[in-house]
Amino acid sequence: MSTNLTSETAAPTRVALVTGGSGGIGRAVVERLARDGFALGVHYSGNKAKADETVAAIVAGGGRAIAIGGDVAEERDMSAAFDAVEAEFGGIDVVVNTAGIMILSPIATMDLDELDRMLRTNVRGTFVVSQQAARRVRSGGAIVNFSTSVTRTQFPSYGGYVASKAAVESMTLILARELRGKDVTVNAVAPGPTATPLFLTGKDDVAIAGLAQAVPLQRLGQPTDIAETVAFLAGSARWINGQVIFTNGGLA
């Protein structure tokens, strides 16, 4: 008897939408999920060229992907983004919400307009995307939001950023319980110091080296390290739900 799968018996392609998928951790997640056979919606906010480049690389490697733009904090934009992915690939199984901004300042001197801008993207944006995901992700799927390990390490100057990510953690854990019975997992990944433009901007070599040495593995994380955790949550980790996964090399 032949063991070859026909088109009728082959497993359907799983589909993921990754916000902020054109650079840094987002691009690493896109590339990792593509290797697992996912069709990808690669979301971008302002840099269409980078998203198109990411899509082209996936397609050149035999995968399927489309680029979609929009403001994560705007309901219409995100509804249209989800519509586009569903129209192209037939549905959505995984949503990974890596989009975010980080503005560092002591609490005493932080510009409140900058705080509002960060909260809009990190809190409202995660809420809008999570809301769409809660309505649309298919049974057996996963929603993965992003926090930060600084919710535990409490580094000075991260007050506003941590406030936004603590909100992400809370809404993530509540959404996991609200989706009872739908067979959709909801978790957050909390990276430690990771070598991305978002993390490195504004830090000198001494500060970067100090953060690397604070980790027992004595190095910065790489975007691919974080992408491995996301791939696990998006794939076989069906018994992990309502959790914050600290992917930080042992940073305490």
Across the beta sheet with 39-44, what order do the strands follow? Answer: 65-69, 39-44, 15-19, 94-97, 142-146, 185-191, 244-247
Q: Are 17 and 64 in contact (CB under 8 A)?
A: no
pLDDT at position 7 is: 41
The single-letter code of the amino acid at 155 is F
Question: Cα 36 vs. chain centroid, distance in angstroms?
Answer: 16
pTM to 2 decimal places: 0.93
Task: Please pick, among 38, 146, 161, 246, the residue that the annotation labels catalytic.
Answer: 161
pLDDT at position 5 is: 41
Where are the alpha helices (H) located in the chain, listed in sequence order?
Answer: 24-35, 48-60, 75-89, 112-119, 125-136, 150-153, 159-178, 197-200, 205-213, 223-234
pLDDT at position 226 is: 97
Structural domains of the chain in order of their starting residue, each with its CATH number:
15-192+226-247 (3.40.50.720)
pLDDT at position 11 is: 63
Q: For residues 8 and 60, what is the distance between their CA atoms, to the nearest angstrom?
A: 26
Does residue 161 have an active-site annotation?
yes
pLDDT tens for the chain, 252 residues: list them: 333 444 445 567 999 999 999 989 999 999 999 999 999 999 999 899 999 999 999 999 999 999 999 999 999 999 999 999 999 999 999 999 999 999 999 999 999 999 999 999 999 999 999 999 999 999 999 999 999 999 999 999 999 999 999 999 999 999 999 999 999 999 999 999 898 877 777 778 888 888 888 899 999 999 999 999 999 999 999 999 999 999 999 997
Of 145, 181, 186, 137, the closest CA to residue 166 belongs to 145
